[in-house]
Amino acid sequence: MSVNQANASVHDKSEVQLSVRNLCVDYITANGDVRAVNNVSFDIGRGEVFGLAGESGCGKSTVAFSVCRLHKPPAFISGGEIIFNGRDILKFDDEQLRQYRWKESAMVFQSAMNSLNPVLTLEEQFCDVLLAHTNMTRQECIKRAGQLLEVVDIHPSRLSDYPHQFSGGMRQRLVIAIALALNAKLIIMDEPTTALDVVVQREILQKIYQLKEEFGFSILFITHDISLMVEFCDRIGIMYAGELAEVAPAKNILTKPNHPYTEGLGNAFPPLHGEKKRLVGIPGTPLNLFEVPVGCRFQARCPYVKDVCRKEYCTLTEIAPGEFSACHLHKDGVVDIKSLEQQPVQG
Amino acid sequence: MGFILRRLVFYFGAFLVAVVINFFLPRMMPGDPVDAMLAQGARFTAEQIANLRLTFGVDQPLYQQFFTYLGDVFTLELGNSTFFSNMPVAEVLGNAFWWTLFLTGTATVLAFIFGATLGIVAAWYRGGKFDSFASPLSLVLQATPQLVFGIVVLFSLGVTWDLIPISYAYDPELTPTFSWEFIKNVLHHSIGPIFCIFIVQLGGFLVPMRNNMINLLNEDYITMGKAKGLSNTRVMLNYGARNAILPSVTALSMALGFVVGGALVVEVIFNYQGLGSVLYNAIINRDYQLIQGQLLIMTVFMLAFNFLADVLYVFLDPRLRKGGK
């Protein structure tokens, strides 16, 4: 697979903040190695919100962890490049990596509720990251921490409190405030609102968006909530079984899917407007990564499957400007998947 | 501080229960101190025996003995020892107390410091060389009886190579003073017993610490600590160990509570004049007053250190604090 083919970019080189190239992540298991992320490539521009969506276990978080090199055994990055501002972070030594983390790319974790250390005060958790990366004095750190709390609408007097004294939504905002501490150029948000109710979710996403506009960082946004993602992101990558199935501008994902899996995801969510439609799930179960078939990984669940899908692997290809798809349907020009006749799937 | 007061009331109740058990337990053994003296070959006339029974108070009904005892406990009037030539129990125990506190206390604190630290390191480098070596070894050490270490150390270091004294807390010809010579002598005598107690306790702190820490390393705040670009040491200590140490604090205070029980086996092997030896002699000679006095000290110590653990826990874990700081 050539790098150019997979270069899912809509930006000039100078505007690219993060460029993931042919990333592969393996897990070592008792039954042999499993490739959890296979040949994933995408770019994130400066100030862009890039979404990664897909079923649980499809490798979204694994990709996110790779960008901070947070994998620990049995997972390891087995191939590819992660270029951040022109430097390959996979080649960093320990000290370079330590400096890169949080200063360049910060992360809001899947369960932000549990990502605060329960026995340290917030002040301590703000100060340790500021002291580790800047030459600020402790007094300056505390002042900065207070400002950051104000950014997420929490009173600075609460700096001396412990995490358990905050509500779930507040803890989420606290983690976001810590993520903003060093003006990181990229903030990875791994399902930042999954554990929260929709009202708090909306509050937090509005806050994030407003902060992004203000500080101009890029976001790698991960969720399995497609409708939320379409609202929030500029471009979206759809992952299936450890691979990118499609990358396209957010507005296209629901209206003009370029991959049968994307269409399936879209059909599984109720539309907010328009007539009532019966929701359709995707038949079958996610791929068992121990038994990866020859050809397309989605073949067993695809309603448009053809002979070629069972024989030939399909790489992510730019089928129209800014639109990438890994599907054989587009071999002879772009096809409108929504208009195709579906065939029954044995599941 | 309502919390501390509530705990104090609780521990006082526990103390009373313990006093009751302390009193009745030795009296459930067959025979009494006078029988023991007779069994050792002392010859008395019937009148002398009756007088002795009167002196020891064993002729009175149990409940009466109990109330006398209860009153004595709170006035620290613990009676006289039959075995140690009629010395007051408080004095016998007082002499032995400091030796045991020094011996077992030092060994326990050392075992905690080394055990917890090595446990943290073993967990952090889980599956590495150190972990694969130290963790199974400490399990073996923990499972080995003190008796075995005591005898091995005594015979190898003490007898065969003559590196350490084999008896007493200090040379009998020295008078206890605060001179360097005396302190050196005491330390030299304590190496053997301290090592034996230390080595057995080491695994007791290492293994739980390692397991706690391994569980904790999967927590999200550890990952976030790493993602924040903090140094490894800081994540290991402030994020990992700081949380993992909480259960070990309880284990430490329990161990310290047991300290005054003395390391009976080790003290007997090294003929060390601590509370362990005293208890051993008291039991063999049915010295009720002494047994009771010793059990009383153990009870008070155990309760005191449990109380300390409660307070320390609240200090270490902010989640247990009520109503802010």
DSSP calls for B70-114 = HHHHHTT---B-TTTTT-BHHHHHHHHHHHHHHHHHHHHHHHHHH
Q: Cβ A120–B238 below 8 Å, yes or no?
A: yes
Among B229, B239, B242, whose Cβ lies nearest the Cβ of A98?
Answer: B229
C-alpha dihedral sign at A203, A208, A209, A213: positive
Q: Cβ B325–A175 below 8 Å, yes or no?
A: no
| CA atoms of A182 and A105, how far apart (whole Å) | 9
Contacts of B243 in chain A (CB under 8 A): 117-119
Whether A12 has a pLDDT exceeding 60, the answer reads no
pLDDT band at residue B321 using 50, 70 and 90 as cut-offs? confident
* Mutation site, B221, B238, B249, B319, interface A, largest A CB count within 10 A: B221
How close is the nearest chain A Cα to the Cα of B254, in Å?
23
pLDDT band at residue A237 using 50, 70 and 90 as cut-offs? very high
Q: How many helices, marked H, and strands, marked E, lie in chain B?
A: 14, 0
Among B228, B316, B317, whose Cβ lies nearest the Cβ of A102?
Answer: B228
- The set of residues, in sequence order, having a beta carbon less than 8 Å from that of A314 and lying 6+ positions away, is A295, A296, A326, A327, A328
- Residue B150: what residue type? G
Whether A128 has a pLDDT exceeding 50, the answer reads yes
The pLDDT, as a whole number, for residue A2 is 37
- The set of residues, in sequence order, having a beta carbon less than 8 Å from that of B203 and lying 6+ positions away, is B115, B137, B138, B139, B140, B141, B142, B143
The pLDDT, as a whole number, for residue B1 is 62
pLDDT band at residue B239 using 50, 70 and 90 as cut-offs? very high
Q: Cβ A114–B239 below 8 Å, yes or no?
A: no
pLDDT band at residue A11 using 50, 70 and 90 as cut-offs? very low
Q: Cβ B220–A117 below 8 Å, yes or no?
A: no
What proportion of chain B, given as a percentage, has pLDDT over 70? 97
Whether A7 has a pLDDT exceeding 50, the answer reads no
Whether A341 has a pLDDT exceeding 70, the answer reads yes
The pLDDT, as a whole number, for residue A256 is 87
Among residues A120, A220, A116, the alpha carbon closest in space to that of A175 is found at A116
| CA atoms of A234 and A48, how far apart (whole Å) | 6
Residue A298 burial by Cβ neighbours in a 10 Å radius (0-12, 13-18, 19+): buried
Q: Could you tell me if the ipTM is greater than 0.90?
A: no
| DSSP secondary structure letter of residue A224 | S
How close is the nearest chain B Cα to the Cα of A322, in Å?
32
The pLDDT, as a whole number, for residue B91 is 82
Q: Cβ B223–A115 below 8 Å, yes or no?
A: yes
Among A109, A118, A128, whose Cβ lies nearest the Cβ of B223?
Answer: A109
How close is the nearest chain A Cα to the Cα of B224, in Å?
6
For all residues of chain A together, what is the average pLDDT? 85
| CA atoms of B72 and B68, how far apart (whole Å) | 6
Contacts of A102 in chain B (CB under 8 A): 227-229
The pLDDT, as a whole number, for residue B82 is 74
- The set of residues, in sequence order, having a beta carbon less than 8 Å from that of B184 and lying 6+ positions away, is none
Tokens of A114: 């549990």
Question: Which of A35-39, A58-62, B33-37 is predicted least confidently?
Answer: B33-37
**Mean pLDDT within B224-252:** 89
How close is the nearest chain B Cα to the Cα of A227, in Å?
27
The pLDDT, as a whole number, for residue A3 is 39
How close is the nearest chain A Cα to the Cα of B108, in Å?
26
Strand, coil or helix: what is A204?
helix
**Mean pLDDT within B260-281:** 83
- Higher pLDDT among residues A285 and A217, named by residue: A217
Whether A281 has a pLDDT exceeding 90, the answer reads no
Among B223, B230, B319, whose Cβ lies nearest the Cβ of A129?
Answer: B230
Whether A63 has a pLDDT exceeding 70, the answer reads yes
pLDDT band at residue A10 using 50, 70 and 90 as cut-offs? very low
The pLDDT, as a whole number, for residue B324 is 43
Among A99, A109, A164, whose Cβ lies nearest the Cβ of B220?
Answer: A109
The pLDDT, as a whole number, for residue B291 is 83
- Residue B80: what residue type? N
pLDDT band at residue A186 using 50, 70 and 90 as cut-offs? very high
Highest mean pLDDT among B60-69, B113-122, B151-160: B113-122
How close is the nearest chain B Cα to the Cα of A138, in Å?
16
Cβ neighbours, 10 Å, residue A119: 19
| CA atoms of B224 and B206, how far apart (whole Å) | 26
The pLDDT, as a whole number, for residue B322 is 61
| Cross-strand pairs, A44 | A18
First to last CA, chain A: 31
C-alpha dihedral sign at B185, B187, B193, B199: negative
* Mutation site, A96, A117, A174, interface B, largest B CB count within 10 A: A117
Question: Which of A14-18, A29-33, A177-181, A267-271 is predicted least confidently?
Answer: A267-271
**What is the number of CB-based contacts under 8 A between chain A and chain B?**
80
Tokens of A167: 């509500």
| CA atoms of B191 and B195, how far apart (whole Å) | 6
pLDDT band at residue B325 using 50, 70 and 90 as cut-offs? very low
For all residues of chain B together, what is the average pLDDT? 84
The pLDDT, as a whole number, for residue A14 is 55
